[in-house]
A and B are shown apart, each in its own frame.
Chain A
Amino acid sequence: MKLIFEKGKEGRGCEMLPESDVPVTAPSEKFLRKKELRLPQVSETEISRHYTQLMKRTFGVNNGFYPLGSCTMKYNPKVNDDMAKLPGFTEVHPLQPESTVQGCLEVLKKTEEALCEVTGMDAIDFQPAAGAHGEFAGLKLIWAYHQDRKDVKRTKIIVPDSAHGTNPASAAMAGFSVINIPSTKEGYVDLEELRKVVGEDTAGFMLTNPNTIGMFDENILEITRIVHEAGGLNYYDGANLNAIMGIARPGDMGFDVVHLNLHKTFSTPHGGGGPGSGPVGCKEQLIKYLPTPRIINKDGSLTFDSKSEVSIGRVKAFYGNFLVVVRALTYILTLGAEGLRKASENAVINANYMLHLLKDTFDIPFPGPCMHEFVISLEELKKEKGVSALDFAKTMLDYGNHPPTMYFPLIVHEALMVEPTETESIETLKEVAEIYKQIYDRAQKEPEALHLSPVTTVVGRPDEVAAARNPILRYQFK
């Protein structure tokens, strides 16, 4: 398909703006752009059709099952989007006087209160724009906490080897050094290893629980105690919160800092990669380090407060991805306490049910019960038939299915990580499980065919080596 730059004609375009109704003031010569600006010259019809074509080459949650492990691709309710389009939210300038943005502040405050209840934290801040950004902010809180206590030798963050790549990356970015610890063969935190590495230089410990193989760590209270006793803080990566809303709270498990992904757990859409929202939450003793401004109640109205002198400062301009928070609040108000718990329970039922449908065919290294996701290993298939997790995933595309997360967590070879979410029906789970089994059969009978998949998509497998060796990162005009 053509690029937009390859469409249209010289002189074509849309007329959007009026003539000037005031005298024209041109910039002085020294500030004038000399370089040609080559933007598309297209009619509105062409734009409309171009994007309709692109839309048809895109796969969203509305297109079908999207079991991307650790990404929680649940259905994105449409009412959320409608609410995020209310002019009362979209037409508000971020630097309006407080008295004129009481609605926006109420959205942030109400969502904060609700998320504090869900996580067991004492405060939540919405400035971080995505999960990794929330991790960065949360780790900065830990940094500020130790600094403030003059406990400056605490420079290390401990991360299990099953962690998302963002965890070590965020820790390094926040100025810490990273200690990776191996997991037990059951996939849990190895308590002995943890005890070995904690000490006077421990700033904190980061954990996703349920972890990245979809298991709730039954030693959670012992883990957080070990870290606390060593003087470190516990950081909860909320990527997998969808398993435990209303069932267990990170704050009760001994975590001091959390980040959430509103675009996972709280049903806001991913937009092809963003915008998300990665609010950071913490316990009472860390509130003063949160990014400023905070929103507080004062004399019956909501107001900004930037007084804290030990705050980590800003991690972003303004107050975060506000419209994403509007969507999340809409979702929380819709579900209420009972609905949130039901969502998590059903996420776990669906995952266990799908695991049950697949367990006789596939190697499932950590058998159930799982939480909201589980991991399949195709290591045997790779060894015996030469069919890799990649081949398997690409074949799923030919069945109109979005594949699970591939090659993650790193501790499982040829991993496929399946997260069905609560918004899929039993019929879908059965259908998809059948497809997985059919593909498995095909892998046994005609393994070579799987190397060639997908064959029904608009393009086949891309040559990623060529893409990386000779990067072409923009359109080259003829």
Chain B
Amino acid sequence: MKEIFFTKTHEWVRFLTDTTARIGISDYAQDQLGDLVFVNLPEVGDEVTAGDEFADVESVKAVSNVYSPVTGTVRAVNEDLLDHPELINEDAYDAWFIEVEDIVDRAELLTQEEYDAMNA
């Protein structure tokens, strides 16, 4: 398993290569949001920009933006989440949202320790 990084806005990113990565939301985030009922995902081919929102997650009474840790192009989306948003609650690190390629920029990223310290 590759190393995982986090953003201050509670997304995780796992680099597959230097220019490709999978992105999701942290376990802390899913816990705070509670039972998720829907996710809005981008489409394959969409550009995402580090620090900008690319998706949102819905609980019953709230909607929260999800921000991209990197700048690049979406090459895959996890369509399972559309029918089964509960997967995010069950295992946030397995429930990736999108896979990004041609990464040219990164947001400020935290290591697991730094991220845990931030939430402590």
Q: Does B85 contact A (CB under 8 A)?
A: yes
Give min CB distance, B72 to chain A, whole Å: 26
Alpha-carbon distance between A465 and B38 when the two chains are bound, in angstroms? 10
* B37 and A407 form a contact (CB under 8 A): no
Alpha-carbon distance between A464 and B35 when the two chains are bound, in angstroms? 10
* A469 and B61 form a contact (CB under 8 A): no
Alpha-carbon distance between A465 and B61 when the two chains are bound, in angstroms? 10
Q: How large is the interface on B (under 10, 10 to 19, 20 to 34, 35 or more residues)?
A: under 10
Q: Does A473 contact B (CB under 8 A)?
A: no
Q: Does B60 contact A (CB under 8 A)?
A: yes
Write out, one digit per residue, whether chain B residues 37-48 have a CB within 8 A of any chain A CB (1) or not (0). 110000000000
Alpha-carbon distance between A465 and B58 when the two chains are bound, in angstroms? 10
Chain A residue nearest in CB terms to B84 = A469
Contact residues in B for A469 (Cβ distance below 8 Å): 35, 37-38, 85-86
Q: Among B38, B60, B86, which residue has its beta carbon within 8 angstroms of that of A464?
A: B60
Alpha-carbon distance between A469 and B58 when the two chains are bound, in angstroms? 10
Q: Does A16 contact B (CB under 8 A)?
A: no
Chain B residue nearest in CB terms to A407 = B61
Give min CB distance, A471 to chain B, whole Å: 9
Alpha-carbon distance between A407 and B61 when the two chains are bound, in angstroms? 10
Write out, one digit per residue, whether chain B residues 79-110 have a CB within 8 A of any chain A CB (1) or not (0). 00000011000000000000000000000000
Alpha-carbon distance between A407 and B58 when the two chains are bound, in angstroms? 17
Contact residues in A for B86 (Cβ distance below 8 Å): 469
Contact residues in B for A468 (Cβ distance below 8 Å): 37-38, 58, 60
Write out, one digit per residue, whether chain A residues 452-473 have a CB within 8 A of any chain B CB (1) or not (0). 0000000000001100110000
- The interface centre, meaning the residue of A407, A464, A465 with most chain B CB atoms within 10 A of its CB, is A465
Alpha-carbon distance between A407 and B62 when the two chains are bound, in angstroms? 11
Alpha-carbon distance between A464 and B58 when the two chains are bound, in angstroms? 12
The A424-478 residues at the B interface (CB cut-off 8 A) are 464-465, 468-469
Write out, one digit per residue, whether chain A residues 45-74 have a CB within 8 A of any chain B CB (1) or not (0). 000000000000000000000000000000
Q: What are 14 residue pairs bridging A and B, where the CB atoms are less than 8 Å apart in the complex?
A: A407-B61, A464-B60, A465-B35, A465-B37, A465-B60, A468-B37, A468-B38, A468-B58, A468-B60, A469-B35, A469-B37, A469-B38, A469-B85, A469-B86
Q: CB within 8 Å of A: which residues of B?
A: 35, 37-38, 58, 60-61, 85-86
Known: A465-B37, A465-B60. 12 other contacts (CB 8 A): A407-B61, A464-B60, A465-B35, A468-B37, A468-B38, A468-B58, A468-B60, A469-B35, A469-B37, A469-B38, A469-B85, A469-B86
User: 10 tightest A-B contacts by CB?
Assistant: A468-B37, A465-B35, A464-B60, A469-B37, A468-B60, A465-B60, A465-B37, A469-B85, A469-B86, A468-B38
Q: CB within 8 Å of B: which residues of A?
A: 407, 464-465, 468-469
